[in-house]
Structure 1
């Protein structure tokens, strides 16, 4: 039984992996995106290695021509800046590995003894933090030198020339042939945050209207907590976008006139939005289920909440539209037009009017606060739950009001 289960699991994993690869290939062939960017970089790396071998091995007839394509393929990095930085690191490490290996052989006269001396040194050198993931080249170069017996002065000079040739070709190919610019990834991450915020707020409004349970509330809470990772992705994407313009000769030409990104203060504002969304969903999760930890708000109060959450979803969709993405691009957002009142405040371009949506949200919150006075006249626990709901939604209103995307300027 366990053998059949193991084979079934392996077959399922293989099928899933093959399907995932097929989807990636299809996306790379049908339109721009990360899959196509990765395919382009892979083909560039292969082309750089072939060109380096053609020059060093076929035309130059270098004694260890492997060094040129080996270096070239490793230097087609994700940005031109990283190619240049990795190239400098590799030249230093390969030079150090070659010289240390040659010196160890001259000192001991024995390959095995030379390895015992030089490999600990090159391994330590390679772990120096300044060299990052390029550190392994010191040890591998020393092994090449010792195994092939190429440690004369002539051979050392050739190793360095072959490395410099491969570095020049790898950096040149990466900089001149479709140099990578990661602004698209940053924009995708940027649009995802308000788009998913709108989807979550609408899901909460629908769930509360139909009578949500603990499972619904816990799912909302899990979705709200994911915003921290979305914002982390956005920060990383901003870093990649900035880095991809350094030393990039075509960056200005390829991206001139395209809209830039809002300032990083927008990210900080959405971090506060995520915090209050998380607190609000935690409150709803704690007040749901057969044995709630908090007294559930009365139905008369909960009936007012969807009228508050839907305008907030409109605010998020308006921000998404302002950032350059249509409000209907998110899963489920396109269905809002089919709902009663789902297109309220819609502008001619399909995006809601942000100021009008905020005004509707504040009106709905005023009605919710009016319910608080009635709750305070009742028992303390009910007043506490209603007060917490009113306080969290008020904070959410304030932070979303401050999260309006600032005007952007074209990338230069």
Structure 2
């Protein structure tokens, strides 16, 4: 038991060190998280300074509490969150204050009248994830003591101060833009596709290489997770540009690759998964007749050429495209087509029993090369 706990601690510490190092040396998700965390802390401190230190507000806690929640992943999210949060906090404050006034400041009775209703109201979908703040605000109001028109006004004002400070800091201090994330995730996807194709190509050259087919299929299936990450990054990039002054206030870097690249690499991943699934089926089902070793060797050459094209595509994405890299990619594709032509000739030489599996592998290889073509 202790050994497992110690192993977990060591792994977690290694992840913390890796994330800290990445945040310090390069732009990326780790640095974005670091910046947003510091901005949330700064917003809370500034809100407390205004409401608690300057205004001497009786419920100054509401201002920094609201400010932290306002520093969202995007400026648009901050505005939307602010509206939702201010609405639910206002409802919680007014309902709890009315309950306190009606019960003559009896805390337990006020809770019975307030919390069930606010918890139900907090689940209303229009309030999103902010619904819980209605009940917690009501608790602050009820446990805070006597309710009056003056104290209710103070609580609403403190909430408004925190929301305004959080929104201003998120929008004008290194506003999150999220343009780089799409390229980063697409780079990771293309790199992983290259690795899977390379592993399949190397394995097919071995005499008993099909024993690794299950591992290829598992790796190819994992590409769908990376593809989903690209889709999520695209969503954040689109939302990050809404109501965001970041394009004028800070360097945003190069624009993300066009949306057509997402669709293209989705089809490439589908082709890789289909190839891996067919090879796994060939490995699992003893009744299927495998193509000849010559056919598998030529298929290995095709996959190796595909992996090489993916490597060039990775460099193109990383450097946002150069003439030399495009020439290398354009030169690599005819080589891949020649390897595919040799594979087609080898298919025609197969025994009839092997035509089913060989034909499926040939079709998927041709579709894969079609998607990797420069014109795609």
Global fold match (TM > 0.5) = yes
Deviation at 1:214, TM superposition (A): 3.9
1:394 aligns with 2:369: no
2:85 aligns with one of 87, 90, 93:
90
Gaps of 5+ in 2: none
2:112 aligns with one of 110, 116, 140:
116
2:339, 2:41 → 1: CA distance? 60
Pairs within 5 Å for 1:69-148? 69-109=64-104, 110-148=106-144
2:203 aligns with one of 204, 207, 210:
207
Q: Which residue of 1 aligns with 2:150?
A: 154
1:292 aligns with 2:286: yes
Structure 2 contact 172–249 (Cα < 8 Å) conserved: no
Q: Which residue of 1 aligns with 2:357?
A: 385
Given the superposition, is the C-alpha separation of residues 76 and 105 from structure 1 closer, same or farther in structure 2, using an over 3 Å criterion?
Answer: same
> 3-state DSSP class of the match of 1:288?
helix
1:251 aligns with one of 232, 239, 247:
247
Structure 2 contact 312–325 (Cα < 8 Å) conserved: no
Q: How many residues are matched? A: 375
2:217 aligns with one of 200, 216, 221:
221
Q: Which residue of 1 aligns with 2:298?
A: 304
Gaps of 5+ in 1: 1-5, 328-346, 405-412
Q: Which residue of 1 aligns with 2:309?
A: 315
2:332 aligns with one of 350, 357, 360:
357
2:38, 2:119 → 1: CA distance? 31
Deviation at 1:76, TM superposition (A): 1.1
**In terms of mean alpha carbon deviation, does 394-403 or 143-152 score higher?**
394-403
> 3-state DSSP class of the match of 2:205?
helix
Structure 2 contact 51–60 (Cα < 8 Å) conserved: yes
Q: Which residue of 2 aligns with 1:175?
A: 171
Deviation at 1:92, TM superposition (A): 0.6
Given the superposition, is the C-alpha separation of residues 368 and 260 from structure 1 closer, same or farther in structure 2, using an over 3 Å criterion?
Answer: same
Structure 1 contact 317–352 (Cα < 8 Å) conserved: no
1:252, 1:96 → 2: CA distance? 37
1:403, 1:24 → 2: CA distance? 38
2:320, 2:46 → 1: CA distance? 44
Q: Which residue of 2 aligns with 1:51?
A: 46
Q: Which residue of 2 aligns with 1:63?
A: 58
Deviation at 1:348, TM superposition (A): 8.2
Given the superposition, is the C-alpha separation of residues 192 and 403 from structure 1 closer, same or farther in structure 2, using an over 3 Å criterion?
Answer: farther
**In terms of mean alpha carbon deviation, does 304-313 or 52-61 score higher?**
304-313
Given the superposition, is the C-alpha separation of residues 89 and 50 from structure 1 closer, same or farther in structure 2, using an over 3 Å criterion?
Answer: same
Stretches of 4+ aligned residues off by more than 6 angstroms = none
Deviations 1:85-125 (A, max 9, x none): 11111111111001101112222333211211111111111
Cα RMSD of the aligned pairs, angstroms, is: 2.2
1:221, 1:299 → 2: CA distance? 20
